[in-house]
Structure 1
Amino acid sequence: MPKLSLMFWLFAAMLSCVAQTVEGATIQSLSRIGGNRSNRVVGYGLVVGLPGTGDQTTEIPYTIQTITNMLRHMGINLPTGQFMQPNNVSAVMVTGSIPPEAQPGQKFNVTVSAMGNASSLRGGILLMTQLHGANGRVYAQAQGSLLVTGSSAQGATASLTINNPDVGRVEDGGVVEVPMPSSTGTANAVTLMLRHPDFVTAARMVEAINLVFPGSAIAQGSGVVQVRAPSDPNARVGFLAALEQIPVHPPTPVPTVVINAQDGTVIMGGNIRVSPCAVAVGSLSISVQNNPQVSQPNMFGRGVTVVATNTKVKIQSHKAHLFLMSKKVSLEDVVRTLNTVGATPAQLASILEAMKSAGALHARIKVL
């Protein structure tokens, strides 16, 4: 082994021990090497062998067209106007991500999703499907038995579905056909892309790298750090291994409150500060009740039966709860107080946004 490469591997072992003992993050956890990413591919294919849960081909014409084209490719020509109505075939889209620097023959997982009106893909087998990149070039092919975690059952008057039976996976179903390009940067430099761009983090990364490899790192903004690296491929691998293990002390994260607007979930970090404020929690309920009434005419009259609706609207204002946030309030106190008054997740989100607007909540609110 060359001396230069051996030195880099010794650096990697030493820095790995240092990273475990020093409190903080590493270059690897704070950034990724530019170009070192997976390559997404997509394809269109057929799933066969379904137990009568495939596409209704009378409503999904492209499934029949795909079957016809596949049979023609295999040397089977159907008579003109031949009517087919299989229920064990489904048209699907196949997606996957090829690992960085993958070589021909390397396998990866693929996800299969129904395109038509198939009720379930459970028990199906994906036929060989070409997987294309964004440029339209074929990079891999996929085939194999589907693993479907969802299930469904249907009766005459009721049905039950658990998870999604129209989506499945094929473990190691994708096979790389074209080698992926190298992703270790240019001939004499490596680009580090920060996972969360920040000027403080970029500056501390440059300082930490230059302590180990003097004069090799330069910051090119809040999200990019350029590092001079050896041009020899073997030495470059050892250099990157050592580089990724360099410990860095990142800045304190910005206090953040995350609100999921879809289901009302609210997540608050432990470093949130709250200034003195008063909050009132109340609610206004409006109920609308429609009572159908039937107006029946006399037996010998000429009138007709009429259905009339009697509508009652009721508005009720519930008692408001007023509570005071003291000077030394913590996140635990806020949660305990809001739980005491019975605030719902939607009310909690509204309260936090109002406190932020009033300047009492010292945190960033992120709505998903």
Structure 2
Amino acid sequence: MRKLFATLALAFSALLAFAAPANAERVRDLGQFQGVRSNQLTGYGIVVGLPGTGDDNLAYLTQAMKGVSGRMGLTLPPGVAPGLKNAAAVMITADLPAFSKPGQRIDVTVSTIGKAKSLRGGALIMTPLYGADGQIYAMAQGNLAVGGLDVGGRDGSNVTINIPTVGRIADGASVERAVATGFDNGGDLSWNLFTADFMTASRVRDAINRKLPGTATVTDGVSLALRLPPNADTRASLMAAIEMIDVSPAETPARVIVNSRTGTVVINSAVRVAPAAISHGKLVVRVDEKPTVVQPAPFSGGRTAVEQSSRIRVEEEDRKVMMFQPGASLSKIVDALNMLGVTPSDLVAILEALKQAGALKAEMVVI
């Protein structure tokens, strides 16, 4: 039994020694290797086969239909605009993942750019998808899956569910050209943080060098230079090992985020408040007008008149004064503001006042 307990204690100690640090995150969740990213593709095309819910004689759609007909060997009469209720001009967007090779399939999203009411039941004609450099990287074609619905009646009533003018084609495009990532080139490989932070960059460097000594150096607050072998197989294995290393990132800067459109206020855990007292009350002044009609006595020769009657009331809520202790944390701030019973708009006013008083140790960001 003693040997068993000793073995268990030794195993437990080993687990503690190799356990991930508190609040640790994987390197792959903090950033990514430069060049290993997706690329956006766009294209202009035509969806056909619509049940009368397409565009109606749009000039650019008419020209496109004539071009498509010409490629098929059909020449439309000059000066005649075909009725195009069964077709719609669309924009196609897609993301080309890193390391995509010719012949692989990617999903595409199709959206109308004209007056088409719905793309339900339509099929996209073969359309080239272009990258930012103007080169063709994929070809899209296929039947659309539309989650929206648009139904109208003769009296003008209309019911729309979701968005019927946007559809998606799973595996709707075939990759025709690969994007160079620089992965298989010799020399240093750059790794970039998603958010610039010198402390986090230094901790990532130290964690990588503990596992692979002499591999990482900090370039700036975002980038690390990694000295990896030029061999693609060895480089891929080392990159996979680096991505799974656990790192404790630096604490985020103290910020208060205010959404001016929705009234949402977000306070992160790094926010601290210096000694301050808050008194927040609400003064309501209400004026009620109740005019009355005064009728003269019969045969008195008087005229009917309106007599004004006003009533003014002043109400002020009784609110307590809250005192923040030095270095008050987020939980203390929330508890105190909840006791005051503040609304989101009142909370923004209080935080702005604390910032002006120099008591709020945080950056206020209005979005």
Q: What range describes the TM-score normalised by the shorter chain of this pair?
A: 0.7 to 0.9
Deviation for aligned residue 1:163: 3.1
Cα separation, partners in 2 of 1:21 and 1:151, compared to 1, 3 Å:
same
Structure 1 residue 351: deviation in Å? 2.8
Secondary structure (helix, strand or coil) at the match of 2:316 reads coil
1:120/1:34 Cα in 2 relative to 1: closer, same or farther (>3 Å)? same
User: Quick one: which amino acid aligns to residue 274 of structure 1?
Assistant: V
Q: CA deviation at 1:330?
A: 4.7
Distance of 2:315 and 2:169 partners within structure 1: 54
Q: Tell me the amino acid that sits aligned with residue 361 of structure 2.
A: H
Distance across 2 between alignment mates of 1:283 and 1:162: 45
Residue 126 of structure 2 aligns to a residue whose secondary structure is strand
8 A Cα contact 1:35 1:185, kept in partner: no
Alignment partner, residue 274 of structure 1: 273
Tell me which stretches of 4 or more aligned residues in structure 1 moved more than 6 Å: 17-20, 283-287, 315-318
C-alpha RMSD of the superposition: 3.0
**How far apart, in 1, do the equivalents of 2:40 and 2:221 lie?**
27
How far apart in 2 are the matches of 1:360 and 1:157?
Answer: 59
Alpha-carbon distance change, 257 to 124 in structure 1, aligned in 2, over 3 angstroms: farther
AA aligned opposite 2:189:
V
Which residue of structure 2 lines up, in the alignment, with residue 140 of structure 1? 138
Change (3 A) 1:85 1:343: farther
Distance 1:319 1:189, change over 3 A: same
Tell me the amino acid that sits aligned with residue 316 of structure 2. K
Aligned partners of 1:28 and 1:245 also within 8 Å: yes
Aligned to 2:207: 208
- With over 3 angstroms needed to count, the CA separation of the structure-2 counterparts of 1:184 and 1:284, relative to structure 1, is farther
| Letter paired with 2:174 | V
Match of 2:162 in 1: 163
Larger Rg: 2
- Offset from partner CA, 1:261-295 (integer Å, 9 cap, x none): 232222222443333231425377999xxxxxxxx
Give 2:110's aligned residue.
112
Task: Assess if the C-alpha contact under 8 Å between 1:279 and 1:323 holds in 2.
Answer: yes
Deviation, structure 1 residue 125: 1.6
Alignment CA distance shift 1:316-1:269 (3 Å): farther
Q: Say whether the 8 Å CA contact 2:322–2:336 is kept in structure 1.
A: no
Q: Give the letter aligned to residue 252 of structure 1.
A: E
CA contact (8 A) 1:125 1:145 kept: yes
Task: State the partner residue of 1:127.
Answer: 125
SS where residue 280 of structure 2 aligns?
strand
CA contact (8 A) 2:284 2:316 kept: no
Q: Which residue of 2 aligns with 1:97?
A: 95
Report the CA distance shift for 1:345/1:41 in structure 2 as closer, same or farther (over 3 A): same
Question: What is the letter of the counterpart of residue 247 of structure 1?
Answer: D
Deviation at 1:127, TM superposition (A): 1.4
Partners of 1:130 and 1:158 in 2: how far apart? 38
Which runs of no fewer than 5 residues in structure 1 stay unpaired? 1-16, 288-314
> Quick one: distance in 2 between partners of 1:285 and 1:185?
73
Cα 1:65/1:253, change in 2 over 3 Å: same
Q: SS of the counterpart of 1:257?
A: strand
Aligned to 1:295: none
Change (3 A) 1:105 1:285: farther
Report the CA distance between 1:157 and its aligned residue.
4.7
Measure, in 2, the Cα distance between the counterparts of 1:54 and 1:317: 60
Residues matched between the structures, number = 325
Alignment partners' CA distance in 1, 2:320 and 2:180? 63
Aligned runs of 1:161-200 on 2, under 5 Å?
161-184=160-183, 186-200=185-199
1:92 maps to a residue whose letter is: V
Q: Is the 8 A contact 2:184 2:231 kept in 1?
A: no
Q: Which residue is 2:309 aligned to? A: none
8 Å contact 1:130–1:140 — kept in the other structure? yes
The secondary structure found in structure 2 opposite 1:28 is: helix
User: Who is 2:50 aligned against?
Assistant: 50
Identify if the C-alpha distance between structure 1 residues 90 and 347 changes in structure 2 by more than 3 Å, giving closer, same or farther.
Answer: farther
**Pair 1:178–1:327, CA change in 2 (3 A):** same
- 2:21 and 2:247 in contact (8 A); partners too: no
Deviation of 1:322 (Å)? 5.6
Contact 2:280–2:340 under 8 Å retained in 1: no
Instruction: Quote the Cα distance in structure 2 between the aligned partners of 1:158 and 1:178.
Output: 48
Distance 1:135-1:148 versus aligned 2 partners, 3 A rule: same
Q: Deviations over 1:113-147 (max 9, x none)?
A: 11001122222222111000111110101112222
TM-score by length of 2: 0.79
- Indicate the larger mover: 20-29 or 175-184: 20-29
Instruction: Tell me if 1:244 matches 2:270.
Output: no
Q: 1:281, 1:343 within 8 Å by CA — same for their partners in 2?
A: no
Whether the 8 Å contact between 1:49 and 1:89 is mirrored in structure 2 is yes
Gapped runs of 5+ residues in structure 2? 1-15, 288-311
Contact 2:129 2:139 in 1 (8 A): yes
Is the contact between residue 31 and residue 194 of structure 2 (CA under 8 Å) also seen in structure 1? yes
Cα distance between partner residues in 1 of 2:79 and 2:60? 15
Sequence identity (%): 37
1:1-368 equivalent positions in 2, closer than 5 A:
21-23=20-22, 24-57=24-57, 60-155=58-153, 156-184=155-183, 186-275=185-274, 276-282=276-282, 319=316, 321=319, 323-327=321-325, 330-336=329-335, 338-339=337-338, 343-368=342-367
C-alpha deviation, 1:40, in angstroms: 0.9
